[in-house]
Amino acid sequence: MIKEKSGGKTNLNETLKKLAGIVSWFESQSELDVEKGIEYVRDGAELIKVSRERLTEIENEFKEIKKEISKGE
Amino acid sequence: MFRMTQETILTVSAYLDRINVALKDEKSKIIGEVCNLQMYDGRSYLYFSVKDKADQSTVKCFMWKNDFKLSGVAMRDGLEVIVTAYPAIYKPNGGLSLQVETIELVGEGALQLAYEQLKKKMEAEGLFAESRKRLLPDYPHRIGIITSKSGAVIHDFLTNIGKFGYEILFVDSKVEGADATKDLLEAVATLRTKEIDVLVIMRGGGSLESFQAFNNETLVCAVANFPAPVLTGIGHDKDVPLVSFASDVNVSTPTAVANLLNESWSHALSSVRLSEQKIFSEFESGLKDTQRRVEHSHISIERHFAEVLHVFTNAKQTLFVGLSRIESQIRRQFDGIAAYSHGIARGFDVLSRRVSDTLAQAGKSLELSNPERQLARGYSIVKIGGKVVRRTTDVRVGERIDILVSDGIIHSEAI
The H or E element spanning position B103 is strand B95-105
For residues B363 and B55, give the distance between their C-alpha atoms in angstroms, rounded to a whole number: 200
Please give the tally of structural domains in chain A: 1
Q: Which of B333, B350, B359 to mutate to test the interface with A (most CBs of A within 10 A)?
A: B333
Q: What is the pLDDT of residue A3?
A: 47
pLDDT of residue B29: 92
For residue A66, list chain B residues with Cβ-Cβ distance below 8 A: 323, 327
Higher pLDDT, B197 or A29: B197
Distances (CA, A) of B4 to B19, B94, B115: 12, 20, 49
Measured torsion, CA atoms of residues B125, B129, B131, B132, in degrees rounded to the nearest 10: 70
Q: What is the pLDDT of residue A1?
A: 45
Contact criterion met (CB below 8 Å) for B122 and B217: yes
Query: What is the domain range of residue A13?
Result: 5-71
Cα gap B160→B266, rounded to integer Å: 12
Confidence grade of residue A61 (pLDDT, cut at 50, 70, 90): confident
CA distance B77 to B371: 200
Instruction: Check residues B215 and A66 and name the one with the higher pLDDT.
Output: B215
Nearest CB to A23; choose among B326, B340, B355: B340
Please give the pLDDT value at position B173.
Answer: 94
- Cross-chain Cβ contact A44/B327 below 8 Å: no
DSSP conformational letter for B165: -
Q: Is the pLDDT of residue A4 over 50?
A: no
Tens place of pLDDT per residue across chain B (415 aa): 556 656 788 999 999 999 999 999 999 999 999 999 999 999 999 999 999 988 989 999 999 998 888 888 888 888 889 999 999 999 999 999 999 999 988 877 777 888 888 899 999 999 999 999 999 999 999 999 999 998 889 999 999 998 889 999 999 999 987 778 889 999 999 999 999 999 999 998 777 777 788 988 899 999 999 999 999 998 766 778 899 999 999 998 899 999 999 999 998 889 899 988 988 898 889 889 888 888 888 788 788 878 888 888 888 888 888 888 888 888 888 888 888 888 888 888 888 888 788 778 877 876 776 666 777 888 888 888 888 888 888 888 888 999 888 888 899 988 8
Any residues with CB less than 8 A from the CB of B250 and at least 6 apart, and which? B231, B232, B233, B234, B240, B244
The pLDDT value given to residue B168: 93
How far apart CA B256 and CA B240 sit, in angstroms, is: 16
Query: Sign of the CA dihedral B3, B6, B7, B11?
Result: positive
Q: How confident is the model at residue A26 (pLDDT cuts 50, 70, 90)?
A: confident
What pLDDT is recorded for position B236? 66
pLDDT value of position B249: 94
* pLDDT(A19) > 70: yes
Q: How far is CA B306 from CA B52, B292, B310, B316, B319, in A?
A: 116, 21, 6, 15, 19
CA gap B214, B240 in Å, rounded: 9
Q: What are the φ and ψ backbone dihedral angles of B406, each rounded to 5 degrees?
A: -65, -30
CA distance B192 to B404: 177
Does CATH place domain B138-258 in 3.50.30.50?
no
Q: Domain ranges in chain B?
A: 12-106, 138-258, 372-413
Separation CA A31–CA B147 (nearest Å): 145
pTM: 0.53
In angstroms, the Cα distances linking B308 to A69, A72, B152 are: 18, 16, 84
CB contact under 8 A, B336 and A16: yes
Shortest CA gap B366–chain A (Å): 19
Is the pLDDT score of A6 beyond 70?
Answer: no
Describe the strand order of the beta sheet including B408-413 as a list of residue ranges.
Answer: B387-388, B381-384, B400-405, B408-413
Q: How far is CA B224 from the centre of its chain?
A: 36
Homologous superfamily in CATH for domain B12-106? Nucleic acid-binding proteins (2.40.50.140)
**Complex prediction ipTM:** 0.74
Other CB atoms within 10 A of residue B200 CB: 29
Residues of A with CB under 8 A from a CB of B: 12, 16, 19-20, 22-23, 25-27, 29, 32, 34, 37-38, 40-41, 44-45, 47-48, 51-52, 55, 58-59, 62, 65-66, 69
B379 Ramachandran zone, left/alpha/beta (phi>0; psi -120 to 50)? beta
Pairwise CA distance, residues B32 & B59, whole Å: 9
Confidence at residue A20, expressed as pLDDT on a 0 to 100 scale: 86
Q: Do residues B221 and B127 lie in contact, with contact meaning Cβ atoms separated by under 8 Å?
A: yes
Residue B2 confidence (pLDDT): 54
- CB-nearest to A20 from B316, B319, B340 is B340
> Hey, what amino acid is at B173?
S
pLDDT band with cut points at 50, 70 and 90 for residue A59: confident
* Chain B residue with minimum CA distance to A70: B320
